[in-house]
A and B are shown apart, each in its own frame.
Chain A
Amino acid sequence: MKSNVIAIMKKELARFFGDKRLMLSAVLLPGILIYLVYSLMGSALTGMLETEEDYRYTLSTVNFPQSVSALTRDLKADITAIDAAEIAAAKAAVAEKTLDLLAIFPEDFDAQVAAYDPASGETAPRVALYYNAARTESAAAYNLMTGVLNTFESALANKFDINPGDEDFDLATDKDASGFIFSSLLPMLLMVLLFSGCMAVAPEAIAGEKERGTIATILITPVKRSELVMGKIFALAVVALFSGASSILGTLLSLPKLMGGASESMSAVFYGPADYLMLAAVVLSTVLVLISMISIISAYAKTIKEAQTSVMPLMIIVMLVGMTGMFSGGAQAAAPYYFIPLYNSVQSMVGIFSFNVSASHVLVTVLVNLALSAAFGFVLTRMFNSEKIMFNK
């Protein structure tokens, strides 16, 4: 590598890693904030959907039949039988969240059920369950009672059982589960977080230097424009990778809290060195594409603010392309897909995470990304040569 490229890289890296404020905002804060926000979101969601382990539900019943009551013995619930005259008060209690559930059965429920013929076309015996969806415990009590009644209904006409006993009928291994979850989530997250990392540094380094008039000071030295572009892009890619790594670390650390029980079977130990190597090649080449794209937009902009605003549509595109990985049901098998910029990176990542990777597809992706980065670098060099672009204020 030429000495001028190295000199510019060193200067750019010194600028970012020497500036505590920039380091904090571009590298440390994204990871910390993502970890905090996702963890809080996970805790809040878990709290919303789950009740405390030792919680006892409060249920009021009218005409509670013995047949159903027998099925509720294992429920952690205090069940109170009330009269028809108390129904209005019980409904009010459910509405006021002081009672979890009110179950009203017909007076002769068992007899009505026994006499009912589904083929008759007559109205079936009715059970009314009053609950409050705005209270987690009330909604959970409703689900429990619905489950009990479904079990009761099945028991009345038990012709066959599905998956009886304690046998584990889900034949997916932990590796399969990890592959499924990682390949659904991580390609999109990686694309968005890497883009955020690039966006945090490129406008400052390109549009910022234009805005402050410091880039012209370099343009009057004998350094070639192509060397300036290479030095900047390589340095920005390094900083963006740090920023992206911080975000990824924050995401991975918060994932168990965000996903609750679904994360129990997830583990990264199933991925081998070859997987990590291919992932690193895809991530690095993708960062080069993203950083050169954002650099071109930043070079057109007159100010950092303008650059950041102009980059937003690109972020939406990257996000949408990233989301295709969530619904693709595995990596694309046809080679032409790996010639489509950005989409190729997502598909390669899906392949790697789902243990269904093709080395040739990854190779095509990396080569296409490198070729595209070189093309964008050439465009950027031309832009650095253009007085209209560099000195247009």
Chain B
Amino acid sequence: MAEIITVTGLNKSFKRSAKQQKLEKTKQRLVQAVSDLSFSAQQGEIFGLLGPNGAGKTTTLRMLATLIKPDSGEAVLDGAAISSQPALVRTKIGFLTSELKLEEFFTPNYLYDFFASLHGVDPALRDRRKSYIFEKFGIRDFAEVKIANLSTGMKQKASLAISLVHDPEIIIFDEPTNGLDVITAKVVTDYLVDLRRQGKTILVSTHIFSLVEKICDRVGIIINGKMTACDTLDNIRAGQSLEDRFFDIYSEAVGAVI
């Protein structure tokens, strides 16, 4: 399989505000969110970024999605570099995170067409894709209902459908099942597996062990902004449950027993 995502030595720091410095009782102005992070993902696999809250998973994904720029390092997604070709990167990825919201005034149908036009999707192709995915996610009956009036699960499914409007080769998904009921969560995870079957590459970040064990082929464990372990799921587990193995790795990394 060909390497489709290559991340090399990514670094990202943020400035703390005076208020944050006071709250965190520190005089350090900079906080290192991601530190010398490298990993790669093969075409047609689901790669899971696993780590606790604040580990740097979302920051990493936001850099890959070109929403924020790294301080240093590079990532190449399907041949497009995030530093020099951000617009090209955006044509190749579908990015979904809870911080990206759909305008509540519009309907899924309107927004699907709007984002399809921004991606330059041919109207006939757009209609075929829309029909398929709205049917698959059970959105068809709600296609003309304003986003504001949809349930959380339906909003998430509409967001997923819209993020894939241009049929990207790479799908980047931040906490895909966060806040979803079990039925919607299953629809979403089943669809990710389905996308892998179609040869798409999926990068998910999560702190849910069961999700990683269920769908991921390879796993990268991020702790305090650093890639602490990165391998196939089986190699990472090393005969243990992923949860047990994670806590071993975590304890080694932070020097504390949990």
Contact = CB atoms under 8 A, between A and B. Distances in A.
The answer to whether A and B come from one shared complex is: yes
A220 interface: yes
Contact of B90 (A3, A4, A216, A222): A222
B253 interface: no
B195 interface: no
B65 interface: yes
Nearest to B65: A220
Between B87, B88, B93, the greatest number of chain A beta carbons within 10 A of the residue's beta carbon is seen for B87
A217 B100 contact: yes
Given A14-B110, A387-B67, A387-B69, A223 B101 contact: no
Interface in B34-52: none
Contacts of B114: 7, 11
Interface in B65-117: 65-69, 87-88, 90-91, 93, 95, 99-106, 110, 114-115, 117
Interface string A2-27: 01100110010011001100000000
Nearest to A10: B114
B100 A213 contact: yes
A221 interface: yes
Interface string B119-146: 1100000000000000000000000000
A221 B102 CA distance: 13
A133 interface: no
Contacts of A11: 106, 114
B118 interface: yes
Contacts of B91: 222
Contact of A220 (B90, B102, B106): B90
Contacts of B101: 212-214, 216-217
A221 B115 contact: yes
Contacts of B90: 220-222
Contacts of A213: 99-101
Given A15-B103, A19-B105, A222-B90, A216 B118 contact: no
A216 B61 CA distance: 14
Contacts of A14: 106, 110
Contact of A222 (B65, B87, B102): B87
A11 B101 CA distance: 16
B68 to A, nearest CB: 4
Contacts of A3: 117, 120
A336 B159 CA distance: 53
Nearest to A387: B68
A224 interface: yes
Nearest to B147: A214
A15 B105 CA distance: 7
B111 to A, nearest CB: 9
Contacts of A15: 103, 105-106
A18 B105 contact: yes
A218 interface: yes
Nearest to A216: B100
A4 B118 CA distance: 6
A217 B90 CA distance: 11
Nearest to B115: A221
Interface string A200-214: 000000000100111
A222 B119 contact: yes
Nearest to B162: A217
A217 B69 contact: no
Nearest to B15: A388
A153 to B, nearest CB: 73
Contacts of A18: 105
A33 B68 CA distance: 45
Contacts of B100: 213-214, 216-217, 220
A270 interface: no
Given A19-B105, A213-B99, A221 B67 contact: no
Nearest to B87: A222
A219 interface: yes
Contacts of B110: 14
Contacts of A218: 118
Nearest to B92: A222
B187 to A, nearest CB: 21
A14 B65 CA distance: 28
A8 B106 CA distance: 13
A293 B68 CA distance: 25
A222 B118 contact: yes
Given A222-B87, A387-B68, A214 B117 contact: no
Interface in A221-259: 221-224
Contact of B117 (A7, A19, A209): A7
B110 to A, nearest CB: 7
A86 B239 CA distance: 118
Contacts of A209: 103
A101 B117 CA distance: 78
Contacts of B68: 387, 391
Nearest to A19: B105
A391 B68 CA distance: 9
Nearest to B103: A214
Given A15-B105, A213-B100, 5 more contacts: A15-B103, A213-B101, A217-B115, A221-B119, A391-B68
14 contacts: A7-B117, A15-B103, A15-B105, A18-B105, A212-B103, A212-B104, A214-B101, A216-B67, A220-B65, A220-B66, A220-B100, A221-B90, A221-B119, A222-B88
Interface of B: 65-69, 87-88, 90-91, 93, 95, 99-106, 110, 114-115, 117-120
User: Which A-B residue pairs are the 4 nearest by beta carbons?
Assistant: A213-B101, A387-B68, A221-B118, A7-B117
